[in-house]
Every structure is written in structure tokens, then in C-alpha cells.
Amino acid sequence: MVRDLAVHQRLVEQILLDENLRPNADDYRQVCLGRSDRACLTDLFAQRGRVLPEAALNKLVKAKSERYQSELKTLDKLPLYSGLDDLIFKLRAAQLPLAIVTGVARAEVEAVLTQAKLIDHFAVIVAGDELPAGGSKPAPDAYLLAVERFNQVYPEMQLTVDQCLTVEDAFPGIEAAHRAGIKVVGVAHTYPFRMMQRRADWVVDYLFEVDLDWIRRVYLNPDTLPTAG
């Protein structure tokens, strides 16, 4: 939603420095991209021979979240990904309920949505601090929880995973959705188009390229869906 990868990486690396641990950019990309802050910090510390007790982990996740929100307040305009407004408009016009399934803390995602004036568009939010580190993407837990919450908000829908669609730009998120039984539109924000093609069900370069008419036909006739890769 927001081009803030560099901000998240810098804040996580600052936490490592504060704990007298050496950050590494390659480690961040391999361990943290697409995963929750809880999973990211747990594994980064473990790589460096440190075990984070739950209380210490909670403290670090909270500190990172507070620093992130402070940085947001300094921005006149959020760096939203191109085409986001267009995609949300198309989805709402099609009367499709929306959820966010993210690895960042709930306070962070709510701050972004509020600042971007988008929070009213999402019926369900599943945030990274609502699941244990082991439940982070690529585990399917967050997506399964999102479907469960959809059915709590809209009990008349009786939603099932095969009726859902997710938009992802990171490999752990694509794997999590597939493990939950959900089809994926991959967006080439973080990785090249060809690499995304090997994992997602179909791929676009930009959010505004998501074609709802084509997707609707796929769900009505699943045999038309191309095989990833």
C-alpha cells in the first residue's frame, strides 16, 4: 500500500544497533520481507545467538511501531503505490468487501489508513501483532483469520477461501495465501515481474492493471486460470 520498505528496514536495523547487534541488509530482505515484525525480530536475533523473551519482543515491536508512526506524522503526503486509489474504487464499485492482511502492527496500519483517508474502506484488518511469530506469513494463519473475521462481519456471506482473492507483492505473502487456498494477484513492486510469475496465479506491474472483469471470468470458470510459472 505504501512505499515504506526503506523506513521499516531502517527502524529494524536501528533496533539491532540499540541492542548492540550488527544489522545486515541482506538479512533483512531474506528474513523480514513480507513477514510480521514479531517474526522478523525473533529470527534476526536468533541469527545472532540471542533469544527474545516474549516481554522483550513485545517491547521492541511497540518501540518500532511508535517510531514508525512518528515518522508518518512528518510527511505531508504518504508515498502510496501508484494505482491504489483506482483499485479501491473499482473494488468498492463492484461491492466487494475489502480486508488488509499485513505483517506490521495494527497501530501502524491504522495510522497509514487514517492518514490516507482509506480506513473506512476496509471491513477487516489482520495485523502482525495479532499472531505469534510462528503464525506470520508464509504460514496461512493470517489469511484464515481474515476469512473468519469476514464471516463475523458479514455472516450472510458464508465466505470460503476459494471465493477470495489476495493482492501480494512479497513471496511469503503469496505462499501464505496459497497455503490458505486463496488465489493471488502478484504485483511487481518488490520483485521483478518474471520472478513473481513463478509464484503468483497472475501478475501485474501496477495496481491499476488489475482487471476485475477478467478476474470475475476466472472465478466463474477456474479452468481459464493460467498456471503460475
pTM exceeding 0.75: yes
Per-domain residue ranges of the chain: 5-73, 84-224
Reported as a pLDDT band with limits 50, 70 and 90, residue 213 is confident
pLDDT given for residue 19 in this prediction: 95
Any idea which architecture 5-73 has in CATH?
Answer: Orthogonal Bundle (1.10)
Residue 133, pLDDT > 90, answer no
With b for 16 or more beta-carbon neighbours within 10 A and e for fewer, the 160-188 pattern comes to: eeeebbbbbbbbbbbbbbbebebbbbbbb
CATH hierarchy code of domain 84-224: 3.40.50.1000
Q: Give the span between the Cα atoms of 100 and 2, in whole angstroms.
A: 13
